[in-house]
Amino acid sequence: MRALTCSAQLCLSQLRAIAAKTLRLLATSVALVLAASCGRVGFSALQSSDANANADASVADASSDAGGWWNAAWQFRKKVRFRNAQRNEGFDGMPVAISLPPSIADVALPSLDDVRFIEADGSTELPYEIERSVSRAAPPLLWLRVPRIDAATDQDFVWLYYGNANPGGPGANPTAVWDSSYLLVQHFGAGSAASSSNVPLNLTVFNITRSDGLLAGDAALFDRNAYVRIDDNAALHPSAMTITAWARKDESQGMAAIVARSNAVVPTSNDVGLFLGNGECTIEYLRGTAPFNASIGCATDASLHMHALVIGPDATRAYSDGISLFDITSTDPLAQSERPITVGADINDGSTTPNVGFFQGLIDEVRIANVARTAAWLDAELAIGNGTFVVVE
């Protein structure tokens, strides 16, 4: 029997794992002896024994004979499965949120440096970003880039490895999670509005504070005197665009801005804008010469709701919690004013300082992409934010 080498944090879990494995092996041995005495030992019996061992690989230690173990220095693994059976569309490179259960968080290093995600092939390491570590009371929250999630199946998965006191450095690689289609990605971690995208943006943050957001992660609290301003950047003028954000209004007020960019010629109009009122969403955009402005009923209760505006090559679409608000045919180009993008407020006086439409409530997961996301992609993002897309087992 090999000597146990473990940190104080991992040792108890290792002992439990070895005890569980020992009991399984004893049970299997007894079953094989009984089967042999009856002349019924064959390949099927051995195959069943091996399947039982592999089924509990999530609690096996590094000496486990479970096939395909990625690295013997890691003590444990869990399967992370993606629920996409209800969508007839597959996704390439989708970032998904993973909330780590206590069974992982209590064993992994507080820094989560020992966390690794491995493709189902058992060898390919995948990039992830830590939004929240185990340093706070809430469950750790990570964002993982999944190379491929097939359509109409709940069976695609990756492996999550953990339990290594000396992992050789952090495994997180945030810049690889968000591909070049993402121009702005804001988690508002620890009250910061920094973007996780690879686009160098200049941001001004005024008066926002941290609050709990999606999946008990971070969100930004806006108090009607707060905003984030993203200075103009050439990358923020794509021919196609998708703006998504989760928002919750905390009081009855007039129309308040979630995300907006005012028009350079007519400052009281917006190139793009997502706004919340009392029981309605207001969407603004300018394609060609005719500005569009529509207020449509949507959920504005005390929960976070996902809102989206999609500017495609031949249509403009808007959604609230996956429900289509409109789908309007248009091939005119989107107005591309060299103006700041603002979160939590709007600008209507031609300046660069927000002065109207201040938001009261929470805003989380603000994203701008340079592609027109499909309805299925947005529906998957909705499920990710609601915690129903990912299963850790």
pLDDT in tens, the chain (393 residues): 333 344 444 444 444 444 444 444 444 343 333 333 333 333 233 233 333 333 334 444 433 434 489 999 999 999 999 999 999 999 999 999 999 999 999 999 999 999 999 999 999 999 999 998 876 578 999 999 999 999 999 999 999 999 999 999 999 999 999 999 999 999 998 889 999 999 999 999 999 999 999 998 899 999 999 999 999 999 999 999 999 999 999 887 789 999 999 999 998 899 999 999 989 999 999 999 889 999 999 988 889 999 999 999 999 999 999 999 999 999 999 999 999 999 999 999 999 999 999 999 999 999 999 999 999 999 999 999 999 999 999
Lookup result for tokens 């794509």 = 238
What span, in angstroms and rounded, lies between the C-alpha atoms of 137 and 106? 11
pLDDT of residue 349: 95
What span, in angstroms and rounded, lies between the C-alpha atoms of 368 and 364? 13
The answer to whether the beta carbons of residues 163 and 57 sit under 8 Å apart is: no
pLDDT of residue 138: 83
The answer to whether the beta carbons of residues 277 and 256 sit under 8 Å apart is: yes
Kindly tell me the number of DSSP H helices and DSSP E strands found in the chain: 4, 23
Give the strands of the sheet with 128-132, arranged side by side.
91-99, 141-149, 128-132
What span, in angstroms and rounded, lies between the C-alpha atoms of 345 and 299? 20
Say which amino acid occupies 295.
S
Say which amino acid occupies 335.
A
pLDDT of residue 5: 40
What span, in angstroms and rounded, lies between the C-alpha atoms of 110 and 132? 10
List, in sequence order, every residue forming a beta bridge with 327; answer none if it has no partner: 317
Phi-psi group of 361: left, alpha or beta (phi > 0 → left; psi -120 to 50 → alpha; rest → beta)? left
